[in-house]
Amino acid sequence: MATELGPTPVKGPASGGTPIHHGPKGVGEDNAIASQGKWASWLLAPTIVALAIVIVYPIISAIVMSFQKDAGLDPVTGLFTAGGPAGFSNYTNWLFQQCAAPGGGTVACPPGTLGSQFWSATGTTFYFTIVTVTLETVLGFWMAIIMARTFRGRSLVRAAVLVPWAIPTAVTAQLWLFIFAFEGIGNKLFNTTILWTGSEIPARWAVIIADTWKTTPFMALLILAGLQMIPAEVYEAAKVDGATAWQRFRMITLPLVKPALMVAILFRTLDALRMFDLPYILTEGSNNTTTLSILVVNQIRQGFNSAAALSTITFIIIFIVAFIFVRFLGANVVEQQTGAGKGKK
Amino acid sequence: MKTPKFLLPVATAGVLALTLSACGGGGGGTTAGSDAEQGLDGRGPITYVQGKDNSNVVRPLIEKWNAAHPDEKVTFKEQTDQADQQHDDLVQNFQAKNANYDVVSVDVVWTAEFAAKGWLQPLKDKMALDTSAMLKPTVESASYKGTLYAAPQNSDGGILYYRKDLVPTAPKTWDEMMGMCTIAEENGIGCFAGQYAKYEGLTVNTSEAINSAGGAVLDAEGKPNLNTPEAKEGLENLASAYADGSIPKEAITFQEEQGRQAFQDGKLLFHRNWPYVYNLAVTEGSSKVKDVLGMTALPGKDGPGASTLGGHSAGMSVYSKNKATALDFLKFLTSEETQKFYATQGSLAPVLGALYDDQELVTKLPYLPVLKTSIENAEPRPVTPFYPAVTKAIQENAYSAIKGEKSVDAALSDMQKSIESASAGQ
């Protein structure tokens, strides 16, 4: 590494790149800034190397793998042989549910193959995301408003609220598995005989309840941070003008907390789209609780290359959702923020 | 060319990343060459890899081995207690051709996959292992395409537990058992349950039902063979018992532990489970079946049913440098003395047939005679290198069939097609 880096600092000033900044400045100052920029890029280099290794390389490698066939079986020796190039067959396996046919060629994936579960898993993932994020936002907002008030033991409440968030998800899932067992506390408490993990609607709601329990505190704290940015004077002024509580919430709290709220929702949405441990432990993906991440993990055990294609698809789906948030909803956030800033002045 | 200075470090980073990726790659290729190159005569320290040693049987054994072989010491590498994680860890290390994974503990269902990948040393010719004293199904489950790839280490089979106080004579066939469900009804308890949640246990129970009715999930060639009247009868047995309530509704959420709990609480007349239940059911204070616990072989069509085989084998990595030592260690693991220690210390079912009739052992582990019948009649779980796909196909469709969301015929034909597709490769 040292030999590669060695000559380059010499080359840097020699190439004497044009400074990016402009405007009337002394020559000395100009040089100082130029060398500062150079230093900055060298100081950033280790980070960029690290990012290239842990982010760029795996993504590229996954994409390359996704165009390779999974190992097939040599019928004579009974040994696996490398699959060779696959074209887009790994992608059509998922997107168009085309599975390999016994005699060669493809057939519609029969129920029981992972390929046949792609669209239902996508639907399940979005169903979980929309329902849990909505519930968590509403409940989190409510909790944040309570915590924003001043009362005795407020810091204790804030710390206590974080407990579910601090428990590792796998432990949470195991905990709820006991609660939702047929002979578990859930059924005993309400005197019901619901097969929580054994039928579709309860199974989905078991996951939703556990997830909401776990991540609402996270939402609440992010929203609380936003709430505390709102100056008290604004509320006082509104009160003087005779605004009702509802009006104050709608016209002051909501718009001013929106930037923090949008960031919180974005985080939670991206998180929920990757949901894995809760349904995996609670239901093993039965009864339509298989999310895309569970499908990826199941596929990894059957063949890496097809799993690489699926994780690339998942990556693109999440990327699109994030893009929509930042581009369309996030643009609003920026506007609101500057607007609010001006208002304060 | 406004930002060359910035681009330079980035380019360096890119080059580094590519260099790294080049290191990561690596061609396949089979081991060939002389015995010396393959390490067949190699002697020296080796590593034994196994999942969590919960009942502390591996460490004392290794200490004993090390005391006798100071130049060929065995190091124990302990994995987690999750089977899936053990599997993934082994796959990663085999792919990296890790020479330090000399002897590995292989779940019976992984044998074919690892063998077909070329990761396990075939135990033949110079490396042959004497299996004549072992129970035949355990040897079959460690073989692939007629070649032994691992040394059967311990076995496991299903047992039918029942309530001695309520059932006058143990049922021998499925129909006999279903006929006794009126007893359960009179006592207000569930009749029969195994493990029907959608996980590996469902594959075990489904293939047991199909095998016991005379069918098979895969034929001798490893091709799916599910569109048969026998397979239909097997799955139908489970589906109709669930539909008419002989198998209680909650059993669809049962894994081993939930079923055991229900049986111990006195809520089941018959229960299919593994031998580990015996100790807990007779010793746990909360157990209501302590004094009335009956055990028999799983019921079949006309006699004992075909249990699905569990257990582990010890395989030798082809990348090991000290295969001669490894082979000696395999022999040590399958020796009568070690097997006896496994049974007494870890309640692990031996693979040597003779031990099941050992009076001393039977007093200690009263389920051994029943387990012997169970294992002798056992069928290995479908032996196929595509096991992960096969088990998913079975689970997905059997689950729907038992719940009545799909007809048994449709479930079996979907199972058949899914397995065909998986074996065709993608």
CATH of residue B93's domain is: 3.40.190.10
Residue B147: strand, helix, or coil: strand
B305-364 pLDDT, tens digit each: 999 999 999 999 999 999 999 999 999 999 999 999 999 888 889 999 999 999 999 998
- Nearest CA among B250, B244, B156 for reference residue B196: B250
CB spacing of B9 vs A45 below 8 angstroms: yes
CA atoms within 13 A on the CB side of A294: 26
- Alpha carbon distance B371, B360 (integer Å): 16
Query: What value does the mean pLDDT take over residues A23-27?
Result: 52
Q: Which of B119, B144, B426 is the best residue to mutate to test the A interface, defined by the most A CB atoms within 10 Å of its own CB?
A: B426
What's residue A297's pLDDT? 92
What's residue A278's pLDDT? 93
Q: Is the domain of B394 the same as that of B365?
A: no
> CA-based diameter of chain B, in Å?
92
Q: Which of A74, A113, A289 is the best residue to mutate to test the B interface, defined by the most B CB atoms within 10 Å of its own CB?
A: A113
Which residue pairs from A97-101 have beta carbons closer than 8 angstroms and sit at least 24 positions apart in sequence?
A99/B421, A99/B424, A99/B426, A100/B421, A100/B424, A100/B425, A100/B426, A101/B420, A101/B421, A101/B424
- Alpha carbon distance A217, A158 (integer Å): 9
A54 in a domain, yes or no? no
Rg of chain B (C-alpha set)? 24
Are the beta carbons of A51 and A75 closer than 8 angstroms? no
Q: Is the domain of B260 the same as that of B166?
A: yes
For the ranges A52-66, A152-166, A328-342, the one whose mean pLDDT is highest: A52-66
B164 in a domain, yes or no? yes
B357 in a domain, yes or no? yes
Structure tokens at A280: 């995996």
Full 3-state SS string of B275-308? CHHHHHHHHCCCCCCCCCEEEECCEECCCECCCE
Is the per-residue pLDDT at B30 higher than 60?
no
B1 in a domain, yes or no? no
- Phi/psi of residue B118, nearest 5 degrees: 80, 25
Q: Is the domain of B219 the same as that of B297?
A: yes
Q: Is the domain of B124 the same as that of B227?
A: no
A61 in a domain, yes or no? no
Is the per-residue pLDDT at B11 higher than 70?
no
Task: Let me know the angle formed at the C-alpha of B390 by B143 and B318, rounded to the nearest 5 degrees.
Answer: 35
Q: Is the domain of B145 the same as that of B41?
A: yes
Task: Let me know the angle formed at the C-alpha of B347 by B341 and B348, rounded to the nearest 5 degrees.
Answer: 80
A139 in a domain, yes or no? yes
A48 in a domain, yes or no? no
A222 in a domain, yes or no? yes
B45-61 pLDDT, tens digit each: 999 999 988 888 899 99
B381-398 pLDDT, tens digit each: 888 899 999 999 999 999
Task: Please report which helix (H) or strand (E) contains residue B74, including its range.
Answer: strand B74-78
Higher pLDDT, B194 or A3: B194
A62-96 pLDDT, tens digit each: 999 999 988 888 877 888 888 888 888 899 989 99
A5 in a domain, yes or no? no
- In this prediction, residue B23 has a pLDDT band, given cuts at 50, 70 and 90, of very low
Find how far residue A173's CA is from the centre of its chain. Answer: 19
Q: Is the domain of A105 the same as that of A252?
A: no
> CA-based diameter of chain A, in Å?
88
Query: What value does the mean pLDDT take over residues A135-143?
Result: 94
What's residue A73's pLDDT? 83
A133 in a domain, yes or no? yes
- Alpha carbon distance B186, A296 (integer Å): 48
**A113: nearest CB among B117, B118, B422:** B422
Are the beta carbons of B129 and B330 closer than 8 angstroms? yes
**Token pair 């930002």: residue:** B3
Number of domains in chain A: 2
- Nearest CA among B372, B343, B361 for reference residue B157: B372
Q: Which B positions 18-47 lie with beta carbon below 8 A of chain A?
A: 20-21, 24, 28, 30
B381 in a domain, yes or no? no
Q: Is the domain of B172 the same as that of B279?
A: yes
Whole domain around residue B300: which residue ranges? 159-307+386-424
Q: What is the pTM of this model?
A: 0.83
- In this prediction, residue A5 has a pLDDT band, given cuts at 50, 70 and 90, of very low
Task: Let me know the angle formed at the C-alpha of A240 by A235 and A245, rounded to the nearest 5 degrees.
Answer: 50
Structure tokens at A72: 């097939």
**Token pair 């500062």: residue:** A36
Is the per-residue pLDDT at B278 higher than 60?
yes
Domain boundary among A110, A140, A167: A110
- A149-158, A177-186, B249-258, B315-324, range with the lowest pLDDT: A149-158
B180-190 pLDDT, tens digit each: 999 999 999 99
Q: Is the domain of B328 the same as that of B265?
A: no
* Mean pLDDT across chain B: 88
CB spacing of B198 vs A283 below 8 angstroms: yes
**Token pair 């260099």: residue:** B19
Query: What value does the mean pLDDT take over residues B156-167?
Result: 94
Higher pLDDT, A6 or A222: A222
Q: Is the domain of B169 the same as that of B115?
A: no
| Contacts with B424 from chain A: Cβ below 8 Å | 99-104
Is the per-residue pLDDT at A140 higher than 80?
yes
Q: Is the domain of B325 the same as that of B180?
A: no
Question: Percent of chain A having pLDDT more than 70?
Answer: 87
If phi > 0 it is left, if psi is from -120 to 50 it is alpha, else beta; for residue A257 that is: alpha
Domain boundary among A60, A88, A110: A110
- A215-224, A245-254, B32-41, range with the lowest pLDDT: B32-41
CB spacing of A109 vs B396 below 8 angstroms: no
B5 in a domain, yes or no? no
Is the per-residue pLDDT at B12 higher than 80?
no
B24 in a domain, yes or no? yes
Number of domains in chain B: 2
Q: Which CATH number do you get for residue A285?
A: 1.10.3720.10
Q: Is the domain of A211 the same as that of A268?
A: yes
Q: Is the domain of B93 the same as that of B139?
A: yes
- In this prediction, residue B24 has a pLDDT band, given cuts at 50, 70 and 90, of very low
Q: Is B13 on the interface with A (CB under 8 A)?
A: yes
Q: Is the domain of A182 the same as that of A267?
A: yes
Whole domain around residue A238: which residue ranges? 116-301+323-344
Count of residues making up chain A: 345
- Alpha carbon distance B397, B406 (integer Å): 8
Query: What value does the mean pLDDT take over residues A332-338?
Result: 48
B226-249 pLDDT, tens digit each: 999 999 999 999 999 999 999 999
Sheet holding B159-163, edge to edge: B190-193, B268-273, B159-163, B293-296
Q: Which residues contact A202 (CB under 8 A, 6 or more apart)?
A: A194, A195, A196
B262 in a domain, yes or no? yes
Q: Which residues contact B258 (CB under 8 A, 6 or more apart)?
A: A181, A182, A183, B197, B250
**Token pair 């990016």: residue:** A20
Q: Is the domain of B189 the same as that of B202?
A: yes
Q: Is A243 on the interface with B (CB under 8 A)?
A: no
- Alpha carbon distance B352, B363 (integer Å): 17
The sign of the torsion formed by the CA atoms of B333, B335, B341, B346 equals positive
- Alpha carbon distance B339, B154 (integer Å): 8
**B421: nearest CB among A41, A73, A101:** A101
Q: Is the domain of B123 the same as that of B202?
A: no
CB spacing of A303 vs B21 below 8 angstroms: no
* Mean pLDDT across chain A: 84
Is the per-residue pLDDT at B174 higher than 90?
yes
Q: Is A101 on the interface with B (CB under 8 A)?
A: yes
Tell me the shortest Cα–Cα distance from B233 to chain A, in angstroms. 20
CA atoms within 13 A on the CB side of A170: 0
Domain boundary among A110, A131, A159: A110
Task: Please report which helix (H) or strand (E) contains residue B116, including its range.
Answer: helix B111-116
B405-417 pLDDT, tens digit each: 999 999 999 999 9
Question: Percent of chain B having pLDDT more than 70?
Answer: 92
Helices assigned H by DSSP within B349-407: 359-364, 368-376, 387-403
Find how far residue B114's CA is from the centre of its chain. Answer: 14
- In this prediction, residue B221 has a pLDDT band, given cuts at 50, 70 and 90, of confident
Tell me the shortest Cα–Cα distance from B14 to chain A, in angstroms. 7
- In this prediction, residue A338 has a pLDDT band, given cuts at 50, 70 and 90, of very low
Is the per-residue pLDDT at A343 higher than 50?
no
What's residue A29's pLDDT? 63
